[in-house]
Amino acid sequence: MSELPYKIVIGLEVHVQLATQSKLFCRCSTQFGAPPNTQTCPVCSGMPGALPVLNREAYRMAVRAALALNCEIPEFTKWDRKQYYYPDLPKGYQISQFDLPMSQHGHLAISDPKNRFEPKRVGIIRAHLEEDAGKSMHDEQAGTADSRIDLNRCGTPLLEIVSEPEMYSPEEAKAYLTELKLLLTYLEVSDCNMQEGSLRVDANVNLHIPDPEAADGPPIATPIVEVKNMNSFRAVERALHYEADRQWEVWQESHQRLGDVPKQTRGWDENAEITRGQRSKEESSDYRYFPDPDLVPVVMSAKETAEIRNQLGELPAALRKRLEETYGIKPYDSDVLVNQGRALVDYYIELAEQCGDGKLASNWVQQDVLRLLNEREISIDDYAVRPSAFAELLAKVQDGKLDTSRGREVLAEMIEAGLSVADAMEKLGIAEVDDSELVELCQSLIAANPKIVADIQAGNLKAAGALIGQAKKQNPNVNPSRVRELCIELSSEAS
């Protein structure tokens, strides 16, 4: 990283909707996109006297995520009411967790295949479960400033994951979010769809500036700003860059320190690419938390926690390591593959096993398979060529019967016409060239190119490349590595 006159300090607060069928304290559906207010009941719409009952499945899902984040799971936790007034919160409070969260003291390991920062662990202060609020819909199209409320989202289970302020660049923050999303997706606890609001990010950011009057003393910390309203990881990265620059300018003019002013909340304006001041942030005392008298505390036995831990399965970090160790691929490549999700990794593993060359399989999957999946917006399950047929094709590439570009042509036929390797090669007129025919061809090339032959004789073996090109022009089916071999052999014999 370039040398900045300050250190950026970032902590992230992520809200993730859990992928349960029903809500956290009632049986209403959590399905996204239903007509407004069709998935509500007296409990989630806040009718007086309606009683909430915990959805145990949501709780187990939250524990699953917390364990994967290396958190401690206490055997006892409870629910608290967080009071605030907003039109999309009909009860006037959110059921959340205050002093006894369902998990705490975890960490998430992040690294950067591009080496912009050293691999590190980011601490997780806590992860707790709470209910979501509804949505305000502003009818800007009609131009009437007409706002309506949709309560379908009210009561959807949310896992709030709070990191330590331990990320020191926008790139680290983005890597944390990317890894967190990947982990939660592998765990199948959330679809993490930012567009639909299943994953929402708030970022706390300030600067630590070396004290010019006490070089060995603690750095000067500028006031912390909470940035909201970012709807992609890219937006988070850009908002943090902007905010660091802005805080540096404010510091140079005002010399405001942490404690001089209350914590400020600013919203990211995607179009203007700036953050704008919003209401000042409530302190937790403003929420007047108190235990929810309608809900019993949750008891989670060590046995049940252990059971959930045993069912976590192979998580992204372990999977990357296995791919690198078993198939000899680089961290950059294992990262690309694992980021595509488990189904693609399974496809890759099957291919690597069958063709016996993990690097070759990785190259073809990344360059050819992924490109097509992206172009057609399909998943690996809909990819026409199964690993066994793909491995057959790679075997032809491995023993030199096909070079990469001809291999691609064959693959295209296999995809478009659903042909086997053999049929695709026949259709393209790719026939194996008899070795005696090849010897004849090379002899004629040697005779016609004395200058190149002299080069090869002088030890410049690269010169043989020109002969391969000529051979392919005469017969596109020739095996380039065999042509090279023959040309070098025949050159040494030539006078």
- In the complex, which residues of this chain contact Mn ion (CB under 5 A)? 160
121 dihedral zone (left: phi>0; alpha: psi -120 to 50; beta): beta
Of residues 35-64, which lie at the interface with Zn ion (CB under 5 A)?
41, 43-44
Query: How far is C-alpha 333 from the chain's CA centre?
Result: 14
- C-alpha angle 158-27-41 in degrees, rounded to nearest 5: 95
d(CA 130, CA 82): 10
Closest to Zn ion by CB, 37 vs 231, is: 37
C-alpha gyration radius of the chain: 30
Are 201 and 177 a contacting pair, CB within 8 Å? yes
Sole binder of Zn ion in the list 16, 28, 68, 319 (CB under 5 A): 28
Sole binder of Zn ion in the list 26, 62, 385, 421 (CB under 5 A): 26
Closest to Mn ion by CB, 160 vs 243, is: 160
Which of Mn ion, Zn ion, none lies near 413, with the C-beta cut-off 5 to 8 A by kind? Answer: none
Which of Mn ion, Zn ion, none lies near 26, with the C-beta cut-off 5 to 8 A by kind? Answer: Zn ion
**The token pair that represents 172 in the structure block:** 């680290």
Residue 257 CB: number of other CB atoms within 10 A? 14
Question: Shortest approach of Mn ion to residue 94 CB, angstroms?
Answer: 7
User: Identity (one letter) of the amino acid at 320?
Assistant: R
Which of Zn ion, Mn ion, none lies near 160, with the C-beta cut-off 5 to 8 A by kind? Answer: Mn ion
Which of Zn ion, Mn ion, none lies near 258, with the C-beta cut-off 5 to 8 A by kind? Answer: none
Question: Shortest approach of Mn ion to residue 333 CB, angstroms?
Answer: 37
Query: Per rule CB under 5 A, is residue 209 in the interface with Zn ion?
Result: no
Closest to Zn ion by CB, 28 vs 380, is: 28
Which of Zn ion, Mn ion, none lies near 41, with the C-beta cut-off 5 to 8 A by kind? Answer: Zn ion
Backbone angles phi, psi at 76, to 5 degrees: -135, 130
Are 206 and 222 a contacting pair, CB within 8 Å? yes
> Which residues fall within 8 angstroms of residue 139, CB to CB, at 6 or more apart?
145, 146, 147, 148
Counting beta carbons within 10 angstroms of the beta carbon of residue 177, is it exposed (0 to 12), middle (13 to 18) or buried (19 or more)?
buried
Closest to Mn ion by CB, 17 vs 334, is: 17
Which of Zn ion, Mn ion, none lies near 44, with the C-beta cut-off 5 to 8 A by kind? Answer: Zn ion
Closest to Mn ion by CB, 160 vs 335, is: 160
Query: How far is C-alpha 423 from the chain's CA centre?
Result: 39
Which of Mn ion, Zn ion, none lies near 337, with the C-beta cut-off 5 to 8 A by kind? Answer: none
Instruction: From 26-34, 127-135, 345-353, 418-426, give the range in contact with Zn ion by CB under 5 A.
Output: 26-34
Please tell me the count of residues contacting Zn ion according to CB under 5 A.
5
Identify the CA nearest to 95 among candidates 61, 57, 124, 133.
133
Question: Shortest approach of Mn ion to residue 130 CB, angstroms?
Answer: 5
Question: Shortest approach of Zn ion to residue 156 CB, angstroms?
Answer: 10
Q: By CB under 5 A, name the binding residues for Zn ion.
A: 26, 28, 41, 43-44
